[in-house]
């Protein structure tokens, strides 16, 4: 089967990875690295595969229509179509969808609470990062902390920065949605520690980018009430793939002060880039996605639902 990332755009896209840039880029480049048999954004029905992966909403609706017309056999929704299933006019409830890719296990638990009938469709697969782009070049030991501020009040972010400076480290702040990735990479290259302030993450691609740059992360992980597009929910994680190799989490400012001191004293205990190279590169993640789609589509087509 030839999974297809975005079917039949009538006009050329503004960038080669329409939709969620980081997710689509990782999938496309990863599949190319592993020499998978797939089409990306075909321009005619003659090029249309029978198995379609559509991580962008316009493409997903188009693919659902084509499946109803019998031109598609198996349809996969991506992790960036919707956070709540009823977003985008109930897009994840489209009956033509066979499986839904979600980036972490806590999202399956989340769906079990708010949309239980969709849980049997969910499969877990992360997006990866390009380890050749996100690769450190620094020499010596940097003494700067990068603060990645996505959630929380500005005063909270400033208190975090004050604790960092009290230990003699310089600070550079990045505000989610207001930076260029080239600059993010440049600043990571001179950072000893990255501090992430986000009330929740379904995967945390910016975290993986920091880890690929061999920068361990200290993650605010409140696991409490969060909101998305005006709707409140209980978040399960701010760093689903945080590990002993990639960093530590914390909740209160007192926790942060302690964790930061421990991290500075034990920098050699972290190996974030090594972890990414073993678990979260484009090729590793895309190979898993390809295997999921091939296995699921083969099984479903051999044993169609009655």
**Which CATH number goes with the domain that contains 225?**
3.40.50.2000
pLDDT at position 263 is: 96
Q: Cα–Cα distance between 22 and 242 in angstroms, integer?
A: 19
First to last CA, the chain: 22
Q: Answer whether residue 159 is part of any domain.
A: yes
What's the domain count of the chain? 2
Q: Are residues 178 and 107 in the same domain?
A: no
Whether residue 170 is found in the same domain as residue 251: yes
User: With 70 as the cut, is the pLDDT of residue 306 above it?
Assistant: no
User: Is the same domain home to 182 and 247?
Assistant: yes
For residue 78, pLDDT over 90 is answered with no
SS3 content of the chain, % helix, strand, coil (to 5): 40, 15, 40
User: Is the per-residue pLDDT at 6 higher than 60?
Assistant: no
Domain check: are 217 and 263 in the same one?
yes
**Domain span at residue 286?**
21-128+281-302
One domain for residues 187 and 259 = yes
Q: Give the separation between CA 57 and CA 63, rounded to whole angstroms.
A: 10
Residue 139 belongs to some domain of the structure: no
Do 211 and 165 belong to one domain?
Answer: yes
pLDDT above 90 for 302: no
Of 120 and 12, which is predicted with more confidence?
A: 120
pLDDT of residue 123: 97
| Band of pLDDT at residue 16, cut at 50, 70 and 90 | low
Residue 91 belongs to some domain of the structure: yes
């Amino acid at each position: 089967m030839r999974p297809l990332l975005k079917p039949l755009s009538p006009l050329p896209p503004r960038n080669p990875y329409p939709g969620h840039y980081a997710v689509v880029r990782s999938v496309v480049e990863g599949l190319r690295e592993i020499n998978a048999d797939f089409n990306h954004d075909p321009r005619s029905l003659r090029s249309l595969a029978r198995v379609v992966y559509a991580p962008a909403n316009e493409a997903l609706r188009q693919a659902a229509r084509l499946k109803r017309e019998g031109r598609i056999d198996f349809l996969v929704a991506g992790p960036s179509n919707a956070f709540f299933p009823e977003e985008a006019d109930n897009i994840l409830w489209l009956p033509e969808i066979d499986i839904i890719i979600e980036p972490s296990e806590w999202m399956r638990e989340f769906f079990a609470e708010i949309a239980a009938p969709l849980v049997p469709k969910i499969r877990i697969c992360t997006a990866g990062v390009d380890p050749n782009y996100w690769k450190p070049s620094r020499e010596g030991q940097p003494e700067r902390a990068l603060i990645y501020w996505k959630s929380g009040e500005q005063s909270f972010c400033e208190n975090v920065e004050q604790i960092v400076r009290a230990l003699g480290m310089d600070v550079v702040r990045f505000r989610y949605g207001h930076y260029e990735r080239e600059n993010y990479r440049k600043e990571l290259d001179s950072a000893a520690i990255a501090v992430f302030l986000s009330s929740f993450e379904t995967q945390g691609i910016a975290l993986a980018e920091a880890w690929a740059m061999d920068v361990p992360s200290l993650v605010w992980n409140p696991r409490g009430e969060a909101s998305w597009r005006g709707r409140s929910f209980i978040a399960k994680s701010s760093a689903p793939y945080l590990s002993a190799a990639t960093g530590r989490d914390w909740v209160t400012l007192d926790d942060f002060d302690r964790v930061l001191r421990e991290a500075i004293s034990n920098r050699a205990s972290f190996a974030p880039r090594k972890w990414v190279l073993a678990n979260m590169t484009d090729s590793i993640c895309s190979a898993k996605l390809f295997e999921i789609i091939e296995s699921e589509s083969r099984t479903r087509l051999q044993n169609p639902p009655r």
